Chain A
């Protein structure tokens, strides 16, 4: 038995080493970093322990801007993408012909490189000296004057970021929702059919309650994912996100760590912990709200 004990841990050893070195140790370390004041990268020393890093980050206008951008992005994309995904999934579940084809097509954005396809979105929306860009041409048909969505006014840039984010997160949501819709027991629908219930009522009274746990799961993961938005913004606006006014919290963390504005792991750590606390709070609120509305059979 003793021999077996050792063997078990031996098989686990590689996993423990990797996880310990690159997941557990950093987690503890980042907490320490965030409280070490004026940490010096070169000498690896600090002047003391305290909350200065947090107060610096919370007073940094770049961080506040990133915070605002992230909150707008979350508030717009999470409800929007969940709702569109629900519509599409319900529509998809009600047809038989071509369903596989549609499912495959809808999943395509999931397997593409966010940065690469982001470039395509950029050229679709960008206004250059040579062309207004396809989107502007289309909007022009409806009588709108051209806007530079990539280098222009704030609302336009935010709009593109939201559009691209919705486009990118949709495959996951559609996949999960169609799976959930398919697993609803048919007897409920048959019973409703016998009673002559209208389609809308069936949806509200049967489908929605049955899939509410899945819907709720998507909302939580959607919130978490949107709070961590970063590469979408880089894909559209380039790496100088502060200059483009389009930075996100995660972008702020990396900027503090690296690049021309980098070299401040303490500030980066403090910002990362703040982000973590925000996500945790929102998730807890979500859980509390769900207790009231989600139907677990």
Chain B
């Protein structure tokens, strides 16, 4: 009889604790999601009704799409968007080529000085970007690469971490495969493209997505190297819009631009959720 009672209180306690945990998790989820909800909601309010709300309404059915029209017409948002796509594609494609070749050399080829070179490469990971950006800015200015895509893309290409990540993956492919291909007379490049890349596709996709996210959000270098609106990326674009875009108080239009900028990455994230999270867990860092 006492035993029943004890079990009952234990169960009751466990349930109470569980509820508490879910409430806590729910509150944090709310804190994370609320800014997103707020930006979508605000972007759908009309200019007049937004400014008429002394106490902002948490929910309204009086919605309009006019802000999205003005986001694309009043400011060159489409241009910023296109620039970012060009920048992202160019940087990512170059990064992949450089990374795959280097990872192949480190994982498969034997040559003098390989270990020393790899150690030096790894030590480069410790160099903070803030240090090198100064000289890069001077270099870009001297070579007259300011306000060009070349100037935007080239310094953003190399990434030691991705070389390391891919090298680790390449190294897991058994040597026998390589020797078999050699016996068949397959060249190194052909082996790389026909065997290694297909096998390591998951890692390559992960690296690609991480780089795309990095490019899409990059702000510091694009800001330094571009001062003509025609070459602004979305990050600089949103800053420009904020400072002298729609007129300072047209917040709904501003939020529409923010939604447009944020949506591509959120879609990408929802599609490749597991890959992105696994990739970041393996050593990705913000910035």
Given contacts A19-B121, A88-B24, A116-B258, list 10 more A-B pairs with CB under 8 A: A8-B110, A22-B157, A26-B133, A105-B29, A117-B39, A133-B56, A167-B35, A231-B220, A231-B235, A258-B224
- Select one of A14, A30, A132, A276 contacting B102, CB under 8 A: A14
Contact with B along A38-67 (1 / 0, CB 8 A): 000100000000000000000000000000
B286 contact set on A, CB distance < 8 A: 110, 168-169, 172, 225
Q: What are some 6 contacts across the A-B interface (CB < 8 A)? A: A8-B109, A14-B101, A94-B21, A112-B266, A120-B258, A238-B243
- Select one of A95, A108, A167, A276 contacting B128, CB under 8 A: A276
A111 contact set on B, CB distance < 8 A: 213, 265-266, 268-269, 276
Contact with B along A94-113 (1 / 0, CB 8 A): 11001000111111111111
- Select one of B36, B51, B132 contacting A27, CB under 8 A: B132
CB of B83 to closest CB in A, whole Å: 14
Please tell me if the beta carbons of A228 and B287 are within 8 angstroms of each other in the complex. yes
Contact with A along B71-99 (1 / 0, CB 8 A): 00000000000000000000000000111
CB of A66 to closest CB in B, whole Å: 13
Could you tell me the dominant secondary structure of chain B's interface residues?
helix
Task: Flag whether A149 is at the interface (Cβ < 8 A).
Answer: no
- Report the interface size class on chain B: 35 or more
Compute how far the CA of A21 lies from the CA of B145 in the bound complex, rounded to whole angstroms.
14
Residues of A within 8 A of B (CB): 4-9, 11-12, 14-15, 18-19, 21-27, 29-30, 33, 41, 87-88, 91-92, 94-95, 98, 102-117, 119-121, 123-124, 128, 130-134, 137, 167-170, 172, 175-176, 179, 221, 225, 228, 230-231, 234, 238-239, 250, 253-254, 257-258, 265, 268-269, 272-273, 275-276, 279
Q: How many contacts between A and B, using CB within 8 angstroms? A: 254
- Select one of B31, B42, B124, B158 contacting A123, CB under 8 A: B42
CB of A255 to closest CB in B, whole Å: 11
Compute how far the CA of A98 lies from the CA of B188 in the bound complex, rounded to whole angstroms.
48
Interface centre among A30, A103, A115, A239 (most CB of B within 10 A): A115
B234 contact set on A, CB distance < 8 A: 113, 116
Interfacial residues of chain B within 232-252, with CB under 8 A of chain A in the complex: 234-235, 238-239, 242-243, 249, 251
B268 contact set on A, CB distance < 8 A: 111
Could you tell me the dominant secondary structure of chain A's interface residues?
helix
Please tell me if the beta carbons of A27 and B131 are within 8 angstroms of each other in the complex. yes
Please tell me if the beta carbons of B111 and A15 are within 8 angstroms of each other in the complex. no
Please tell me if the beta carbons of B281 and A176 are within 8 angstroms of each other in the complex. yes
Please tell me if the beta carbons of B134 and A268 are within 8 angstroms of each other in the complex. yes
Known: A23-B124, A137-B55. A7 touches B188 (CB 8 A): yes
Compute how far the CA of A98 lies from the CA of B134 in the bound complex, rounded to whole angstroms.
46
Please tell me if the beta carbons of B249 and A130 are within 8 angstroms of each other in the complex. yes
Please tell me if the beta carbons of B130 and A253 are within 8 angstroms of each other in the complex. yes
Please tell me if the beta carbons of A113 and B285 are within 8 angstroms of each other in the complex. no
Please tell me if the beta carbons of A4 and B109 are within 8 angstroms of each other in the complex. yes
**Stretch among B61-69, B135-143, B200-208 lining the A interface:** B135-143
A26 contact set on B, CB distance < 8 A: 131-136, 139
Please tell me if the beta carbons of B21 and A250 are within 8 angstroms of each other in the complex. no
Interface centre among B31, B135, B265 (most CB of A within 10 A): B135
Chain B, Cβ-Cβ closest to A29? B135
Please tell me if the beta carbons of A105 and B124 are within 8 angstroms of each other in the complex. no
Task: Flag whether B178 is at the interface (Cβ < 8 A).
Answer: no
